[in-house]
Chain A
Amino acid sequence: MIRVVLPAHLRTLAGVGLEVELEINGLATQRSLIDALESRLPVLQGTIRDPVSLKRRAFVRFFACEQDLSHESPDAPLPTAVVTGAEPFFVIGAMAGG
C-alpha cells in the first residue's frame, strides 16, 4: 500500500483527506502511481500531469524520503520505503509566486 499526500487544492478538488492510499499492481513508479491515483480520483486527471503529453506539470514536484524525485524518470522504481508505505509520496505545489 502506497500513501500519497496531495496539496491542499487537490485535496479540496478531490474531496479527500491528507493521505490517499493506493494499491499498485506491478512495478511501482511515478507513472503507475499517478495512473492509479487518476483512476481512483478521475477529477485529478490533468492536474498533476498534462492530460495529453502526460508530463509532470512544471510547478508540481514529487518528494519522498526527503528527496526531490521530480526529475527522475517516470518509469524509475519508487523508493522501497514508499512502496512499503513506511514513507509517503508527496505531490507538492512548487514555491512559485501567486
Chain B
Amino acid sequence: MSGVRVLVGTRKGAFVLTSDGKREVWDIKGPFFGGWEIYHVKGSPVDRNRIFASQSTGWFGQLIQRSDDGGTTWEPVGNQFQYEGVPGTHQWYDGTPHPWEFARVWHLEPSLNDPDTILAGVEDAGIFSSTDGGENWRELAGLRGHDSGQSWQPGAGGMCLHTIIVDPTDPNRVFVAISAAGVFRTDDGGVTWHPKNRGLVSGSIPDEDAEVGHCVHHLAIHPSRPQVLYMQKHWDVMRTDDAGESWQEVSGNLPTDFGFAIDVHAHEPETVYVVPIKSDSEHFPPDGKLRVYRSRTGGNEWEPLTEGLPQRNCYVNVLRDAMAVDSMDDCGIYFGTTGGQVYASANSGDSWAPIVRDLPAVLSVEVQTLP
C-alpha cells in the first residue's frame, strides 16, 4: 500500500487529504465546490480514481459530482431524484401527514463490484440506484412503500436515509438506517425491505420497543463478518450477531452512550470505535474532553483514547458519517469534527494528531487506501 486519500465533506466544500503510508505529512487540496454543503464524498472500491460527491445548498438544490482522476477534477452527473409513483405522505413533526419531498442526498455508497453502480440515501428517506456512474437515478421504491412508511417521522436533522451497508458476500443484501424509522434490510436487491429493529429500546417513542420508529444514528460492519453489525443509536450502542434479527446493547462502561459515529477496525472485527457525546441536546463531548472510545471485545468493555486529542474546553461534535478507517497494516482511524478539525491515528487509535484544524464544520470523512 502506497498511501491514503481522506475525503472530507464540509458545510462549505470538499477537501482531499493525501499522505504516504506513514500518515504523518499531508497534502491538503480544496475547497472543491466552495460554498456548497458536501454531505458525503466516497470513492469506488473497484476504481480508486472514481469518487462521488453529494453537493447541495438550500438555494440551488442537489448536484452529484464525479471525479475519475482521484479528486483532481470533477464533473456534475445526474441530479434528478424522483420518487416512484405518487409519493404519498409520512408523518410530520406534529404527527400530521406530510408529503414526501426530496431535500438532499445524505450518503453515497459505491458498489463493491462495479464502478458504475452506486446507491444514494436521501432525505426524505428513500434509496436510489444508478448503474451508469451517477448519470441516471431510479428509486428502489419498495423501501418507502413499506407498510410502515406512512408512520415514519423525521429526526431533528430531517427524515434522512443516512447509512447504507452492502453485504460484501451478497450484493442483494443491503442494510439501511433511517432517522427516525430504524434499520431495514433487503435480501433481494432492494425489491422488498424488512425492519430489523428487534432489541432496540427507545424511551422517546410511545412504544419503546416498536418495530419501527427508532432513531438509529449509524451502523458499521467488518467485511469478514457480515452477520455482525454495530450500531450507534440516538442513545445506546448496539450489536447484532444475526444480521439484524436481534440486537443487544453493548454500551457497557461508556461515559455516555449517546453519539453519532461508529466504526470497526480494518483487521480486528471485535475492535470498535465510538465518540461519546454528552446528550441529545448537548452535542459535545462530556467534560469538554474529546475522547474516542475503543472496545477490543466487540462492545461492553471500552477504553478512552485521549493522546493527542484536546482534553479541556472542547465542545465539538462528531457527526455520523465523519469517522472512517483505512486498511493499512497498522490500521488508521480518522474522524472530523463540527469545529473543522480532522484527526488521524496511524496506530489503531493509540495516539492522534490533527491533519488539519480549521476547515468548515465536517459532515463526513471517508478514506481510500491506495495501492
Contact = CB atoms under 8 A, between A and B. Distances in A.
Q: Do A and B come from one complex?
A: yes
B59 A93 contact: yes
A9 B12 CA distance: 12
Interface of A, helix, strand, loop or mixed by DSSP: loop
Interface stretch (A24-32, A49-57, A68-76, A79-87): A49-57
B36 interface: yes
A14 B67 CA distance: 17
A77 interface: no
B58 A51 contact: no
Contact of B57 (A9, A45, A52): A9
Contact of A43 (B59, B76, B82, B102): B76
A58 B62 CA distance: 14
Contacts of B59: 7, 9, 57, 59-60, 93-94, 96, 98
**Which of B35, B58, B60, B63 has the most chain A CB within a 10 Å cutoff?**
B60
Contacts of A50: 61
Given A9-B36, A52-B80, A52-B82, A47 B58 contact: no
Interface in B292-329: none
B79 A45 contact: yes
Q: Do most interface residues of chain B lie in helix, strand or loop, or is the interface mixed?
A: loop
Contact of A9 (B35, B79, B80, B82): B35
B60 A9 contact: yes
Contacts of B76: 13, 43
Interface in B77-105: 79-80, 82, 102
Interface residues on B, range: 10 to 19
A10 interface: yes
B138 to A, nearest CB: 14
Contacts of B35: 9
Contact of A47 (B60, B80, B82, B102): B60
Given A9-B35, A9-B36, A51 B60 contact: no
A96 B58 CA distance: 9
B82 A93 contact: no
Contact of A48 (B36, B60, B62): B60
B36 A98 contact: no
B38 to A, nearest CB: 13
Given A13-B76, A46-B63, A94-B59, 14 more contacts: A7-B59, A10-B60, A45-B80, A46-B62, A46-B79, A46-B80, A51-B80, A57-B59, A57-B60, A58-B58, A59-B59, A60-B59, A93-B60, A98-B59
Leading 6 A-B pairs by shortest Cβ distance: A47-B60, A59-B59, A93-B59, A46-B79, A51-B80, A52-B82
Interface of A: 7, 9-10, 13, 43, 45-48, 50-52, 57-60, 93-94, 96, 98
Interface of B: 35-36, 57-63, 76, 79-80, 82, 102
